[in-house]
Amino acid sequence: MPTVSLHTLGCKLNHAETSAMARQFIERGYDVVEFGARADVTVINTCTVTGRADRECRQLIRRSLRASSDSFVLVTGCYAQLEPEQVASIEGVGAVLGSREKFSIFDHLNPDNRSGGPQVHVSDISKGDDFGVAYSSDENGRTRAFLKVQDGCDYNCSFCTIPLARGGSRSQPIDACVRQAEMLVSQGYKEIVLTGVNVGDYGRKDSENLLKLLMRLESVAGIERLRISSIEPNLLTDAIIDLVADSKVLCNHFHIPLQSGDDRILRSMRRRYDTRAYAGRIARVRDRIPNCGIGVDVIVGFPGETEEHFSNTVSFVDNLPVSYLHIFTYSERPNTPAAQYDQPVRPERRFARSRALRMLGRKKRNAFHQSRMGAVRPVLLEGEVRDGLRFGFTEEYIRVGVPAEGTEENTIVNTMISGADDEACRGRIVTPEVAG
Ligand code: SF4
């Protein structure tokens, strides 16, 4: 039986799409083996959100060829879409497929045909509105599934290359999302995470919207948890917050990109809100869902970001009642407006700002965890067991470890939070399993 190994760089959407590619190989009789093992075909699904992601792609190709020198290496994803020639020139690459072609791999290439250099099939993403169906489990087994409901983006944030790599915003119809959710529930998944590039924009072009989608998915029989991966602040409506607040299925967790806490920088980034509007959204969430987990993305070192702008970001974020931060160090992306902006921030300053905000992020996470001490929360246990503890997540997205003995993956247990630090909480199970 031929073998294939697959590896993903980047976001959960990419992970879901790698699973869709794996299914194509399985249908053709391939056996999926771990990345790093000997394989007839190696698939690398790339990301291009930062310059580092491009470098990782090169490293992975070399690593896969070390493990399996005769493997046919297929590179796809955002980096492959934007820089096909660059990718094809990397020694060892057998084929390059674009963002659309990865959903119909065998229509475009034959891994047995290795003559004549790399096969390159990359079409113009701006011309298509097709939707590649995708869903996946996370690495920790059959607990959380990532369901792709939306792809592409019509916003034009000045730093972002994703619309170039993935095209305009488009969505999967509600009925199709519901059918896939039903199938995932029947396979035993307890949590479904709705993923996309700009999930809050779901359905806009089809007279549907995220609120309607959430209401339909909430009533899928047997669904235990539904999570929104991320939502732009300008698209997080009162109605969505109210629905989450009153729902037994929708997780009390929002991930809301901020990017900067300075209004001049936000304008230069072409974001669609200012700090006042952002703070208003957070206040509304806290008002309706006091213990909600709230995650925030911030970019540091954007062109023109002075010490004053940066310190505005630090104090704005410090005063926000949020739970954790994801910090990104700005890197120039080809063909984006920001890459041409004056006053680039020196690399060492970017890294210093990143370190400072990461410390603030640890402080925020620790404070959120400490505030939950003594609370009893359902935890969906995953496969990870370390130092005698099995880990899982609450609906607020707090990582909690409980004594592993007698526990099982993919069960939901009521857990009293009894310890906390800036990484995770510890707890003890206080009632029999409520599900599983
Ligand atoms: S909203 Fe902005 S940052 Fe997010 S994918 Fe769209 S263009 Fe990129």
pLDDT in tens, 366-406: 999 999 999 999 999 999 899 999 999 999 999 999 999 99
Those residues whose C-beta lies under 8 Å from the C-beta of residue 350, and which sit 6 or more positions away, are 300, 301, 329, 330
Give distance in angstroms: CA of 195 to centre of ligand 1: 14
DSSP-assigned letter for residue 98: -
Scanning 270-346, the segments in alpha helix (DSSP H) are 275-288, 307-319
- In this structure, are residues 402 and 389 in contact, taking their beta carbons and an 8 Å threshold? yes
Residue minimizing CA distance to atom 1 of ligand 1:
155
CATH, domain range 376-429: 2.40.50.140
Q: Rounded to an integer, what distance in angstroms lies between the CA atom of residue 319 and that of residue 317?
A: 5
Domain with CATH 2.40.50.140 in the chain: 376-429
Q: Note the pLDDT of residue 435.
A: 42
Length of the chain: 436
| Residue 370 parent element (H or E) | helix 347-371
Give distance in angstroms: CA of 365 to centre of ligand 1: 25
Beta bridge partners of 144: 191
Verify whether ligand 1 is closer than 6 Å to residue 157 (CB atom): yes
In the β-sheet with 191-195, what is the strand arrangement from edge to edge? Answer: 135-138, 141-148, 191-195, 225-228
Give distance in angstroms: CA of 338 to centre of ligand 1: 13
Q: Note the pLDDT of residue 436.
A: 40
Domain with CATH 3.40.50.12160 in the chain: 3-123
Test site for ligand 1: of 12, 47, 153, most ligand atoms within 8 A of the Cβ: 153
Cα-trace Rg, the chain: 22
Q: Rounded to an integer, what distance in angstroms lies between the CA atom of residue 228 and that of residue 293?
A: 12
Give distance in angstroms: CA of 160 to centre of ligand 1: 6
Fold of 3-123: Rossmann fold (3.40.50)
Q: Rounded to an integer, what distance in angstroms lies between the CA atom of residue 30 and that of residue 173?
A: 31
Q: Note the pLDDT of residue 140.
A: 47
Q: Note the pLDDT of residue 130.
A: 86
Test site for ligand 1: of 156, 158, 197, 202, most ligand atoms within 8 A of the Cβ: 197
Verify whether ligand 1 is closer than 6 Å to residue 200 (CB atom): no
Q: Note the pLDDT of residue 432.
A: 60
Helices 174-186 and 210-218, packing angle to 10 deg = 30
Joined together, the tokens standing for residue 415 give: 């857990």
Give distance in angstroms: CA of 198 to centre of ligand 1: 7
- In this structure, are residues 234 and 273 in contact, taking their beta carbons and an 8 Å threshold? yes
Helices 307-319 and 347-371, packing angle to 10 deg = 10
Q: Note the pLDDT of residue 327.
A: 97
- pLDDT < 70 regions, the chain: 137-141, 432-436
| Torsion angles phi and psi, residue 350, rounded to 5 | -55, -45
Question: What is the atom index within ligand 1 of the atom nearest the CA of 161?
Answer: 8
Q: Note the pLDDT of residue 141.
A: 62
Residue minimizing CA distance to atom 4 of ligand 1:
198
Verify whether ligand 1 is closer than 6 Å to residue 153 (CB atom): yes
Test site for ligand 1: of 159, 162, 169, most ligand atoms within 8 A of the Cβ: 162
User: 395 to each of 191, 400, 401, how far by Cα in Å?
Assistant: 10, 11, 14
For β-strands 376-386 and 412-420, DSSP reports them as antiparallel
Q: Note the pLDDT of residue 249.
A: 98
Question: What is the atom index within ligand 1 of the atom nearest the CA of 232?
Answer: 1
